[in-house]
Amino acid sequence: MFPQPTGAVLIDMDDFLFYEAAMEKRSDDTCLVTGNQKHYPFRDFIVTPAEMVADY
């Protein structure tokens, strides 16, 4: 399975793979957990490790 391209341009394009994979699985309520939220566009499913632990 290959993710559908989002066309997003990220501050750190090394993070692009993770963003694309998370976007592909959004229908499964997938979260992207990162300590570098500033590298991604603002989305409610992109959370810090602390936010992930607090929510689950």
pLDDT band at 3 (very low <50, low <70, confident <90, very high): low
**For residue 47, what are the contacts with CB-CB under 8 A and spacing of at least 6?**
31, 32, 33, 34, 37, 55
- pLDDT tens per residue across span 21-48: 888 888 778 899 999 999 899 998 999 9
Q: Please determine, for residue 1, whether its predicted confidence score (pLDDT) is greater than 80.
A: no
Specify whether the CB–CB gap between 36 and 11 falls below 8 A: no
User: What are the structural domain ranges in the chain?
Assistant: 13-55
